[in-house]
Amino acid sequence: MPLSPMKIVRDEPQQLLVLETAKPGVPVGAFGCLTAGIFGLVFGVPCVGFVVSGFQPGPDRSSLLVGAFFVVFGLVISTAVFSAMRNRTRYPLRVRVDRYASELEIAEAGLLGSGRTLVVPLDRITRIEVGSAMVPPNVGDLASGILVKGPKSGVRLKVEWRDGENSESHALAFSVDDLNLREEVADFAYRIGRAAGLFYSRVLRSDPRELEIEVTRERGPGCEALPVIESPAEYAHDRVLAPALKAASEEKVPAFAPAEFQADLKVAVWEPRREVRFRRPLGFAAFGCLPFTLLVLLGPVVFVLMGRVDTSDEPAARWAVSGMAGVFGLVMGLFAMAGVASGLPKSVTLDWAANSLEMRGVIRVESRALSDIRELELKCVRTYRSGGKNSPSYHTYRCDLVGHLQRSEDGKPSLVLVATNEFREDPATPYRISLPLATELAAALGVPRKVTEFS
């Protein structure tokens, strides 16, 4: 990512749109490369000295081999990390859509020659997709003294074009100065489409957080003519075209894809208004971890076994050894119990014919009437994970589908029906895979649906 958001430097409606980085500089990924280089240097130099010393009179062959191994190991790790980070350090310097020159240009900078400039003739472009995106914090946020917690709003741009008989594409994400509203994303899409000489647009997705629009050369199902643009963009004053406001106000959510839903409970049956079932089958962890749960008894077992040995002269040793064994066994046994619990079968079933909501575990079964659900909430949860000595801190993101009840006989005002997996530094995936689920299920239940943002 660049040190600052992209800025619209030229906007001649329907002819030219140019975005540039105000303060280009070192991308965030370069710091990873620098770390890798330092690691290789600090790790490798002493080992090189170790190897050289092996060539002195009376060399120690074992020291020579060990030193050589660590040198190779350090170089391999450094090279691998450096190469991986180098491939991820491209960031956009300039995006230009120019009808005067009849070309689209995307210039990207990178580390040690990894940047490139892509130029595509406008008459070869078949479609451009513009959508909301969550952009990770960058160096500019730190340099300006702003502490950013998690990703921030940005724009995703995907260009597709013909190259002979083949179809090519290029995608990138970046933030744009003052562009932080969904209707502004739609307005931006229309401006790019007009400048590229495309004629039609279609809303692919419009929900409480995200908006995706495609602009195309050919008219397809659901497409409308691109609006005429007469004035430059004014995102600093939140002024957009009327069709952009319409695109953001009319909700359009893609159909739920059960196979793409990533959660502990898998979708076993998806027939809204008849039956919906989430199920976790009996897993291997339940069997594999079961023997290790007996470690909770390790302390008493060691105490009894040591009692069979004559330890009358050192009774404190018996207590000390059995105590340490007990603590170790208790910790490991509890971890094993958690593993067993994660592998036990569980299911959540919504049955419209029986008007029942059943949450079944191995020991406990909880039943409710479906008509007791008054609202479905898609609760987006962000969790901070503190790192250790050698690992950085990070955030994880997930979405819980919560059913709020009309009446609560057992004191529970709501129930978590299903939750997505946790995604590290990725708030977009759990939201995108769970919003269609919440939308279709709420419609089938005839109750409102609301979305709670990450907190």
Q: What average pLDDT does range 252-256 have in this prediction?
A: 93
- 271 and 379 together in one domain: yes
In a domain, 133, yes or no: yes
- The CA distance from 189 to 195, in Å, is 10
In a domain, 349, yes or no: yes
- 103 and 208 together in one domain: yes
Residues 6+ apart with CB under 8 A from 314: none
- The CA distance from 40 to 35, in Å, is 9
- 173 and 57 together in one domain: no
Give pLDDT, residue 321: 73
> 347: burial class by Cβ within 10 Å (0-12, 13-18, 19+)?
middle
- 388 and 407 together in one domain: yes
- 333 and 220 together in one domain: no
Comparing 407 with 432, which gets the higher pLDDT? 432
Q: Of 20-24, 333-337, 451-455, which has the strongest mean pLDDT?
A: 451-455
Examine the pLDDT at 27 and tell me if it is beyond 50.
Answer: no
For the chain, what is the domain count?
Answer: 4
Q: Which of 67, 87, 107 delimits the end of a domain?
A: 87
Which element (helix H / strand E) includes 66?
helix 61-87
In a domain, 71, yes or no: yes
Q: Which of 294, 328, 343 delimits the end of a domain?
A: 343
Q: What percent of the chain has pLDDT over 70?
A: 71
- 420 and 276 together in one domain: yes
In a domain, 1, yes or no: no
Q: What average pLDDT does range 150-171 have in this prediction?
A: 88
Give pLDDT, residue 408: 64
Examine the pLDDT at 123 and tell me if it is beyond 90.
Answer: yes
- 335 and 431 together in one domain: no
pLDDT tens per residue across span 320-363: 777 887 787 788 877 767 765 666 678 999 999 999 999 888 67
Examine the pLDDT at 184 and tell me if it is beyond 50.
Answer: yes
Which element (helix H / strand E) includes 431?
helix 428-445
Question: What's the token pair of residue 78?
Answer: 């450094």
pLDDT tens per residue across span 186-198: 999 999 999 999 9
- 209 and 129 together in one domain: yes
Residues 6+ apart with CB under 8 A from 120: 103, 104, 105, 159, 161
In a domain, 72, yes or no: yes
What is the residue range of 411's domain? Answer: 258-281+345-452
Torsion region of 150: left, alpha or beta (phi above 0 gives left; psi -120 to 50 gives alpha): left
Question: What is the band of 370 on the pLDDT scale with cuts at 50, 70, 90?
Answer: very high
The mean-pLDDT minimum among 307-316, 389-398, 420-429, 430-439 falls in 307-316
- 172 and 42 together in one domain: no
Give pLDDT, residue 65: 60
Q: Which of 296, 323, 343 delimits the end of a domain?
A: 343
The mean of the pLDDT values for the chain is: 80
Question: What's the token pair of residue 227?
Answer: 């609006």
Give pLDDT, residue 143: 42
- 243 and 99 together in one domain: yes
Give pLDDT, residue 34: 53
Instruction: Decide if 321 contacts 306 (C-beta within 8 A).
Output: yes
In a domain, 298, yes or no: yes
Confidence (pTM): 0.70
Examine the pLDDT at 145 and tell me if it is beyond 90.
Answer: no
- 299 and 448 together in one domain: no
The mean-pLDDT minimum among 141-150, 177-186, 361-370 falls in 141-150
Residue 138 CA, distance from chain mean position: 16
pLDDT tens per residue across span 198-242: 999 999 999 988 999 999 999 989 899 999 999 999 999 999 999
Q: What average pLDDT does range 82-95 have in this prediction?
A: 70
Instruction: Decide if 5 contacts 20 (C-beta within 8 A).
Output: no
In a domain, 23, yes or no: no
Give pLDDT, residue 25: 47
Question: What's the token pair of residue 80?
Answer: 């691998």
Give pLDDT, residue 149: 53
- 225 and 134 together in one domain: yes
Comparing 262 with 316, which gets the higher pLDDT? 262
Instruction: Decide if 298 contacts 266 (C-beta within 8 A).
Output: no
Q: What average pLDDT does range 105-134 have in this prediction?
A: 87
In a domain, 21, yes or no: no
Geometric angle at alpha carbon 149, from 147 and 155, rounded to 5°: 105
CATH number where 373 lies: 2.30.29
